[in-house]
Amino acid sequence: MSAQPILKVEGLKKYFPVEKGFLRRVVGQVKAVDDVNLEIAAGETLGLVGESGSGKTTVGRCILRALKPTQGSIQFQIAENRIVDMAQLSDRELRAVRPQANMIFQDPFYSLDPRWTILDIVGEPLKLANLAKGKELEDRVAYLMEVVGLEAKHLRRYPHAFSGGQRQRIGVARALATNPRLIVADEPVSALDVSTQAQILNLLQDLQREFALSYLFIAHDLSVVEHISDRVAVMYVGKIVEVAKRDQLFFFPKHPYTEALLSAVPTPDPDVEKERIILPGEIANPADPPSGCYFHPRCRYVKAICRDEEPPLREVSPGQWTSCHFAEELSLAGAPQQPHGA
């Protein structure tokens, strides 16, 4: 893994207006993403986790410019090591850059057009980018089908003829079609059964090695994130609250929200006793977040300063950043398993 970041996001914000009345007057803002900073190195997988509504998918869509950010920069290293700011590119400039960054969607059925054949679906990105046509396009799609573990002879079948796992392989082939450098995988295995999840995760890791891919892997299942990620970032109400190397975060968490998420991860050993931390209430409303630390209404370690002052994201140990006033003082429970390679 190279230390040179292929993606560097700084101060990313995405606000959605809250409108009211017949004249649709703007009365507030939903802060779906609020000052997010992250980096992904070439060849690295960064896992992005958090509850539903934390802003994970919005971050991914802003990075790919499916949504235009409200503020911030998205520095993306494209071919020939040229850096572009995805947040500032015009539509014309985006068309030239988009083949180098693609997405794998969550639901492998609804993300594939049922009226199109597999040749049409996987070949569409090649047509839009003017990378191939005719026999060359068909050969490329046939090759991609074999790369993801499907048979090329099924190119003219429709999505309904495939199982859920096979449909997700087709989605992976579509994401690979234009030889991207970065893939945003948005909950790519959450709609699949456990055995099929493992197959898709192993496929993604094999493809990463073969094609030198970098991944932003968005998920809510920490056991899946542990399997595939090099580093993990935890989001809560539009903000990154902790980011660290995988084993650091899983076994030595520094933020109470991370501790609570880890407590929900099932352990395969029935003899291991683990306290499940049940967070009170619901995730905060991004249109009306609480004062101070956004997590304080649900935190069992809350003190007065937490209600009044928002903690900055700071480095509390080498390579581990967290936004908690008491990160150095708290002794938080991590995952009960031993670190990888221990």
pLDDT tens for residues 150-187? 999 999 999 999 999 999 999 999 999 999 999 999 99
What's the whole-number average pLDDT of the chain?
Answer: 92
Mean pLDDT across 298-303: 95
Q: Return the closest-CA partner of residue 57 out of 23, 49, 121, 97.
A: 49
> What is the reported pLDDT for 1?
40
Find out whether 330 and 301 touch, Cβ atoms under 8 Å: yes
Rounded Cα gap, residues 330 and 242, in angstroms: 14
The string of pLDDT tens digits covering residues 77-92 is 998 889 999 999 999 9
Give CA separation, 163 vs 168, 187, 269, in Å: 9, 18, 32
Rounded Cα gap, residues 16 and 67, in angstroms: 11
Does residue 338 have a pLDDT over 70? no
Rounded Cα gap, residues 144 and 10, in angstroms: 34
Per-residue confidence at 339, pLDDT binned at 50, 70, 90?
very low
Amino acid at 87: A
Rounded Cα gap, residues 66 and 63, in angstroms: 8
User: Judging by DSSP bridges, how do beta strands 182-186 and 214-219 pair with one another?
Assistant: parallel
Mean pLDDT across 141-150: 96
Find out whether 172 and 184 touch, Cβ atoms under 8 Å: no
Amino acid at 239: K
Does residue 7 have a pLDDT over 70? yes
Query: Rounded to 5, what percent of the chain is helix, strand, coil?
Result: 35, 25, 45
The string of pLDDT tens digits covering residues 95-138 is 999 999 999 998 888 889 999 999 999 999 999 999 999 999 99
Does residue 271 have a pLDDT over 70? no
Provide the strand spans (E) within 119-192. 182-186
Token pair of 297 as six digits: 């209404």
How many residues are there in the chain? 342
Token pair of 109 as six digits: 């059925």
Mean pLDDT across 276-298: 92
Q: Return the closest-CA partner of residue 81 out of 4, 164, 11.
A: 4
Per-residue confidence at 2, pLDDT binned at 50, 70, 90?
very low
